[in-house]
Structure 1
Amino acid sequence: MAKIATLITDLFEDIEFTSPKEALEEAGHTVVTIDKEGNKAVRGKQGEVRVEIDFGVSDVKPEDFDALFIPGGFSPDLLRDDDRVVAFTKSFMSEMKPVFAICHGPQLLITARSIDGRDITGYKSIRVDLENAGAKFHDEEVVVCQKQLVTSRTPQDLPAFNREIVNLLKEKDL
């Protein structure tokens, strides 16, 4: 089963973390939370969910994980000002490891300069940013690119997003 690095900080979209986490854990995978610094808790922007952070980004290496998950909300924008987080993200894309990003999650992929030529979706407010970064934007509930990158737009897309992230891990036998 896969060990999944989850980049998350305060103001994440509550359901965009909890729903995929449940789907991944039900499929037998391990979800590990990572922020700029460890040993703390973060809160979702709806104020409904509190998440204990397992590790700070300096305490882990991308090679310790099979996949990367980036929930949406304001969290990806707050994380992408940290070069360590950006480098961690870029490593997964460069190594063609599975990456799952929903809503504003692809903002981290933009900053990592790793989506040029890739098929992608995300929240409508970042469409121009994605296109300016060279991505091919699709207004669809879920987009799977090169059997590696899975993206979705909003919480309404979570059933399709969850299905595809679990299927991709199964397909890759992780």
Structure 2
Amino acid sequence: MTEKVAVLVTDMVEDVELTSPKETLEKAGYEVVLIEKEADKKITGKKGTSFTIDASIDDVQPNDFVALLIPGGFSPDQLRADQRFVDFTKYFLENDLPLFAICHGPQLFIQTGLTNGRSMTSYLTVQADLAYAGADVKDEAVVIDHNLVTSRTPDDLPEFNQAILSLLTD
């Protein structure tokens, strides 16, 4: 059975922050499952890419997945208003399971209440929010804290994707 990686995503995702890690994971043999409020829904990225949602948040359990990816853009800010997505993310943080977030992705972490003392990075405007929530924020391409991998911007995608693969294959 193919191991699955969950992706919490909705409209206005930063296109390449979804397509690049997704392609990297699929090349490595993982099944990437896009999760939103409803299955088969079409969402549109900030740059116009259309994505089809694979599963509804109501039809999946976090323990069905080996890892979670949260791409950036305006998607995470919308998802963090829905407790179902917060709880899904919280499961990975509480259990120290592989969790990958880039750009605005770590905004979802703030809602979990589990950022205190965790080392991470994000897009510049989110870094202060994370610091206020108690995170140890670093302005680096990739920050790894146990099984939590965070990154800043699309420019950091090569390092981010490498860190994802390294963590999953070690």
Tell me if both proteins adopt one fold, taking TM over 0.5 as the criterion.
Answer: yes
Q: Which runs of 5+ in 1 are unaligned?
A: none
2:124 corresponds in structure 1 to 124
SS at match of 1:33: strand
Count of equivalent residues: 169
2:37 corresponds in structure 1 to 36
Tell me if 1:151 matches 2:150. Answer: yes
Shift of 1:37: 2.2
Shift of 1:6: 0.2
SS at match of 2:86: helix
Shift of 1:30: 1.1
Shift of 1:170: 0.2
Shift of 1:22: 0.6
2:167 corresponds in structure 1 to 168
TM-score after normalising by structure 2: 0.97
Shift of 1:56: 1.0
* 8 Å CA contact retained: 1:80, 1:107: yes
Shift of 1:38: 2.0
Q: What's the Cα RMSD here? A: 0.8
The share of aligned pairs that are identical, in percent, is 54
State the alpha-carbon separation in 2 of the partners of residues 169 and 54 from structure 1.
22
* 8 Å CA contact retained: 1:66, 1:98: yes
The equivalences for 1:97-136 within 5 A come to: 97-136=97-136
State the alpha-carbon separation in 1 of the partners of residues 150 and 111 from structure 2.
16
Counterpart AA for 1:165: I
State the alpha-carbon separation in 2 of the partners of residues 93 and 80 from structure 1.
15
Bigger Cα displacement from structure 2, 98-107 vs 24-33: 24-33
Counterpart AA for 1:97: L
* 8 Å CA contact retained: 1:35, 1:55: yes
Counterpart AA for 1:170: T
1:63 corresponds in structure 2 to 63
Shift of 1:39: 2.4
Q: Which runs of 4+ in 1 moved over 4 A?
A: none
TM-score after normalising by structure 1: 0.95
Q: Which runs of 5+ in 2 are unaligned?
A: none
State the alpha-carbon separation in 1 of the partners of residues 53 and 24 from structure 2.
19
